[in-house]
Amino acid sequence: MNIMETRKNEPVRIGFYVCHCGVNIAHMVDVEAVAKYVATLPNVVVSRNYKYMCSDPGQEMIQKDIREQRLNRVVVAACSPLLHEHTFRGATEAGGLNPFYFQMVNIREHNSWVHTDRLEATRKAMALARAAIQRVPHHKPLEVKKVPINPDVLIVGGGIAGIHAAITMANAGKKVYLVEKEPSIGGHMAMFDKTFPTLDCAMCVLSPKMATVGSHPNITLWTYSEVVKVDGYVGNFKVTVRRKPRYIIEDLCTGCQECVANCVYKEPKFPDAFNLGLGKRKPVYMPFAQAIPSIAIIDPEVCLNFKRGKNPDGSYTVSDKCKKLCVVACGDRKAIDFSQKAEDKEITVGTIIMATGFKTFDPRRTPYYGYGVYPNVYTALELERVINASGPTEGHLVMRNGKEPKRVAIVHCVGSRDENTNRWCSRVCCLYSLKLAHLILEHTDAEVYNFYIDMRTPGKSMEEFYNRVAEEGMHLVRGRVADVYPDPNDTASGRLIVQAEDTLTNRILKIPVDMVVLSVGLEPRPEAEDLRRLFNLSCSSEGWFLERHPKLAPVSTFTDGIFLAGCCQGPKDIPDSVAQAGAAAAEAFSLIDKGYVEQEPNTAFVLAEECSGCKSCIPLCPYTAISFNEETKKAFINEALCKGCGTCVAACPSGSIVQNLFEDQEIFSEIDGVLAPLPQ
Amino acid sequence: MSDSTNKTPDGNWTPRIVAFFCNWCTYTAADLAGVSRMKYASNIRVIRLMCSGRVDPQFVVDAFAKGADGVLIGGCHPNDCHYVEGNYKCLRRYQMLKRMIADMGIEPDRLRLEWISAAEGEKVRRVVNEMVETVKQLGPLGIPAKFEQWDKEMNALAEHVAASQGAGAPGSSGQNKPQTAQTAHV
Amino acid sequence: MSKPKVAFYWCASCGGCEETVVDLAEDILGVVEKVDIVLWPVAMDFKYKDVEAMPDKSILATLLNGAIRSTEQEEMARLLRRKSQYMIAYGACAHLGGIPGLANQFTREHILKFNYEDGPSMANDKKTRPQLVTEDNGRTPRLPALTNVVRSLDQVVEVDYYVPGCPPTPKITRAAVTALLENRLPPKGSVIAPDIALCDECPRKATKPANISFREFKRPHQALMDPQKCFLAQGVVCMGPSTRSGCEAACISGGMPCTGCFGPTSRVRDQGLKIMSSLCSNIEPKDEQGISAVIQGIPDPIGTFYRYGLAKSLLRRKVNLPTD
């Protein structure tokens, strides 16, 4: 700070550095010409070009020049400031200057990588550099504000990714709120039978982890709950979670299921969501045997003790028409409460991990496969349930008509790699299709056909898995299935013809089968868009949550303090989801353990002498950071609440609000700089 | 400041477009376009602001006045603003600004506002290319040159005054000034 | 010791500024006592030659009002600049171009044609126009030429101080003259008025709500105005928030909104754009059509937001007009 003070009145002395970035910049921008040009500009004392400015020698060069050439401003033309601004501010600071005497010029992402004319790209680099050279004299020394981080963490989504992240954080002593939309955690993984490539039982791997979540002293588990509001920012998110009524008091329910056994419905009658409608349940039910929390839930849509139909506010009215044998069965435990209402819980957390998962592609969008029309067409996820020992058929592979299939076709890439539906590869379908083929062969004597476009089996032990199961005697046909239709020669049995071109033999195949399994791809969840808005995230054009950088910040988002885990970021298998969950937890930790976040000092402030108190700015602030001081009759910005958007600055009619780092004069200088004439 | 319209070294005019991109969506999208090695016209000069709400109409008009042939503003999509509603504030000013620049003789197509999310690198490419095409069709705006041209009439008189004073006699147009002034304006 | 010499001159102006000098009332006598008025065409008889004969810098200060829009005005401005130690732009027209600056939306030809041919009150069947040079009974009278561009004084000559207003109030005129005579001048280039917007001294300030949101804009004649309430709170464009104070909210006290004659604060480059930014940011609708409907309530944004400041705005003049 002292250095800064003593240098306050010195003339501006700028050091300029243009980076080659190996050849990334230098191949398209004549970096020497840029350095030569900048050397002629006012206030520039040093102008250099260097292979890698972000390397240690590059940064040391800046520091050395600051000391030896008495620089008091630094400009680096290199990559995007979103990538390395922090690095060079650090170098500027290490050289003894306030880090905000630095300005970065983006000549890679915005220039060398996107242009093809070297001369034009070089001139553009000169113009952008000039803008920074003209801007930086106006820079003021600023201080980074440190805001303490609340150590609690919110994890949204209780699939394998959310579960793993929750346990990781909780084991390290952090308080975790795990919010799950469904009545039980477990997610998609809980529905699977076996997992590739090890073929171990999904639930055997998962249920201990689920139980750990249920009993962990550091985990507050809120199932059947949704996040409805998110305020605040990294370190201090204020989150409202809506706990939907399950009409069972969680603390009193022991999970004995006496209520289920004694329900007035003697037989399960209603489609069971966990089994994708292939099985039935009662109005009061346990989501599935290993559900966590092990607590029953009442479905007011069908329970006789409720009037039919939802109220406009989403609640249900008690009819009191039922004998309530469940209540009798529950007895002294008194866990059943028909008057339960949705309850909003407000929590404060410092970090958030999004693990909201995916949805499987709805094959009704590819009507030529006959899903929803022919009963013997299944999705792969349905087959997982059918084949699962705890599923609706207790693991017997039988079709809806109760018969065991003799021939099964597995159709790959349904809703993946397809111009008309989803373009992306869902990554897991080839492998789970092979797994399902293996399981069908294990359960039955059926003949199995896999129709694939390309067999994609990357990853550790995956190709070996493919080789192993491929030798088990299944048919592998390279060709996309064009059509599935009833066998005209055998309409009674429900037999289907699968038509495809075998592209290896160039033959059109028409294979009669009993059962068709559609290997549906993975899609962003339909509510992802709402979640994205709620949490202020970005989505890729496909709708997956967007990571900050695919390689450098793969689990971070553009909102500080919010991290991504699992398939909400893109299709991935279980090992990768778990690994990513661990990475997200580690990122959250590194923030929490640091104890504070550094806030970019780009806040705005009101010039108290100059403000006329016109109040134009006050309604503009979305964070209510601006208030009207009734004593001074002037506007006042609470710096702690200001997020630095600068909207009030642009709108102040008398120019009496200033935004640090983005002062009017700084922007005008940039405008001037980019438009200044260049040497011919 | 004689180079009021941008010329390539071979003497051809090529437009200069100043862009104000919000940090969170459009600037990031432009980074994405870079990372994805998409190719687009090099006429654009991006100035980074935290939010499209920071775009002071003075910045836009100053850019035109300093020689920009077009100005592009990029912000987050409606409802997606990192700062909740900064983009709406930008939109409201933009609509009036369009009218005002049109009234001041600048083709409104020289100013464009686009919502470009962080994922839309491709949209950056498309919008920049379209914008460059549009501005090429419109031709140079060249306001600095116009300022110079406007001020020629003053230089002429300054020279005339200097010459007449040098000759020691008041110039003819200077004679009986106060009186003729009345005549000229009534 | 001789009294300091002062000159008053007018260019493209309405004469209101001259009135203000007279409005100093008895104070004018004090001024006259302390200074020697060497030029004041509106009140006294001086000739160009008299001024020209003065030594350079012999006038302490020239208070020049009016914009510069003819060769004659420009020449006088240059002459007086040379003869004066201080050149003071007096009033909105000299300061900002003023109302005459609105002519920068039109070509010279358009203006001449309207004024000598098309104007509804014009009776000029022969379409006679003033000529720069005419022959008349052996004499050759010459008229000054109208310039293409209307200019503020500082776009023609160096200006030391600005006394803002249309017209400047007696109070700030007195402040300027006193500062001049007592040699207590602010830094060169200053506008002699507080560098804070008008709301600061507006009697209706307290009635402006802190949550203003415009559903429509009205013009003052389109509604019955509450005489106590902030104009903006009533949906009427008031330039007060982007205009320097110092007039003591004279228009508002007279029941009309501020139209911006004192010009922007020192921190603003373009008064019109700044008030526009402020007003439009607070429009209520968020959709294009809704916004569009609201801003239709301002049918002439240039005339509204640049009532006095067009010549000094960032663009100065409609940019696609030919210079002739």
Give yes or no for a contact between C75 and B161, defined as CB atoms under 8 angstroms apart.
Answer: yes
- Does B33 contact A at CB distance below 8 Å? yes
Check whether A134 has a pLDDT greater than 90: yes
Q: Band of the pLDDT at A2, cuts 50, 70, 90?
A: very low
Q: Choose among A126, A218, A121: nearest CA to A173.
A: A218
Distance in Å, alpha carbon of A416 to nearest chain B alpha carbon? 20
Of 2.60.40, 3.30.70, 2.40.160, 3.40.50, the CATH number of A2-144 is 3.40.50
In this structure, what token pair is assigned to residue C259?
A: 């139209």
Q: Write the pLDDT tens digit of every residue in A176-211.
A: 999 999 999 999 999 999 999 999 999 999 999 999
Q: Domain A604-659 carries which CATH code?
A: 3.30.70.20
pTM of this structure = 0.81
**Predicted local confidence at residue A8, as pLDDT:** 58
DSSP state of A11: P
Chains contacting B with at least 3 CB pairs below 8 Å? Answer: A, C
Please give the mean pLDDT across all residues of chain B.
85
Check whether C241 has a pLDDT greater than 90: yes
Q: Which helix (DSSP H) or strand (DSSP E) does residue A582 occupy?
A: helix A574-594
pLDDT higher at C324 or B95: B95
Check whether A3 has a pLDDT greater than 50: no
**Predicted local confidence at residue B82, as pLDDT:** 86
Q: Write the pLDDT tens digit of every residue in B78-98.
A: 888 888 899 999 999 999 999
In this structure, what token pair is assigned to residue A487?
A: 């066998």
Bridge partners, residue A411, by sequence = A451, A518
Binary contact (A80, B31; C-beta < 8 A): yes
DSSP state of C133: B
Average pLDDT over residues A228-254: 94
Please give the mean pLDDT across all residues of chain C.
93
**Predicted local confidence at residue A1, as pLDDT:** 39
**Predicted local confidence at residue C266, as pLDDT:** 97
Q: Which domains does chain B have, with CATH numbers?
A: 17-144 (3.40.50.960)
d(CA A345, CA C39): 80
d(CA A599, CA A534): 22
Segment A577-581 long-range contacts (CB within 8 Å, at least 24 positions apart): A577/A159, A577/A160, A577/A161, A577/A164, A578/A160, A578/A161, A578/A164, A580/A161, A580/A554, A580/A555, A581/A160, A581/A161, A581/A162, A581/A163, A581/A164, A581/A165, A581/A168, A581/A353, A581/A355
pLDDT higher at A101 or B155: A101
Q: Band of the pLDDT at B3, cuts 50, 70, 90?
A: very low
Average pLDDT over residues C187-206: 96
Distance in Å, alpha carbon of C213 to nearest chain A alpha carbon? 8
Tell me which of B177, B179, B182, B186 to substitute to probe the interface with C (most C C-beta atoms closer than 10 Å).
B177
Instruction: Tell me whether residue A467 is exposed, middle or buried, using C-beta atoms within 10 angstroms of its C-beta: 0 to 12, 13 to 18, 19 or more.
Output: exposed
Give yes or no for a contact between C168 and A583, defined as CB atoms under 8 angstroms apart.
Answer: no
Binary contact (A610, C195; C-beta < 8 A): yes
Interface ipTM: 0.95
**Predicted local confidence at residue C22, as pLDDT:** 77
Check whether A647 has a pLDDT greater than 70: yes
Percent of chain A with pLDDT over 90: 91
Percent of chain C with pLDDT over 70: 99
Average pLDDT over residues B137-143: 96
Bridge partners, residue C230, by sequence = none
d(CA A35, CA A76): 11
Q: Write the pLDDT tens digit of every residue in A532-572.
A: 989 988 888 899 999 988 888 999 998 889 999 999 999 99
Helix axes A380-387, A429-443, angle to 10 degrees: 30
Q: Band of the pLDDT at B9, cuts 50, 70, 90?
A: low
- Write out the residue limits of the CATH 3.40.50 domain(s) in chain A: 2-144
Average pLDDT over residues C290-313: 97
Q: Over chain B, what HEC string results?
A: CCCCCCECCCCCECCCEEEEEECCCHHHHHHHHHHCCCCCCCCEEEEEECCHHHCCHHHHHHHHHCCCCEEEEEECCCCCECCECHHHHHHHHHHHHHHHHHHCCCCHHHEEEEECCCCCHHHHHHHHHHHHHHHHHHCCCCHHHHHHHHHHHHHHHHHHHHHHHHCCCCCHHHCCHHHHHHHHHC
Q: Please, what is the Cα angle at C251 between B95 and C277, to 5 degrees?
A: 20
Point out the least confidently predicted range of B73-82, B164-173, C122-131, C268-277: B164-173
Q: Write the pLDDT tens digit of every residue in B31-52.
A: 999 999 999 999 999 999 999 9
Check whether C300 has a pLDDT greater than 60: yes
- Write out the residue limits of the CATH 3.30.70.20 domain(s) in chain A: 604-659
Q: Choose among A364, A303, A344: nearest CA to A518.
A: A364
Architecture of domain A358-523 in this structure:
3-Layer(bba) Sandwich (3.50)
Binary contact (C267, A655; C-beta < 8 A): yes
Chain C contact set for A614 (CB, 8 A): 197, 199, 208, 240-241, 278
Percent of chain A with pLDDT over 70: 99
Average pLDDT over residues B126-143: 97
Average pLDDT over residues C166-195: 92
Q: How many CB atoms are closer than 10 A to CB C210?
A: 13
Q: How many CB atoms are closer than 10 A to CB A394?
A: 10
**Predicted local confidence at residue A499, as pLDDT:** 97
| SS3 state at A150 | coil
- Does C46 contact B at CB distance below 8 Å? yes
- Does B168 contact C at CB distance below 8 Å? no
Binary contact (C319, B95; C-beta < 8 A): no
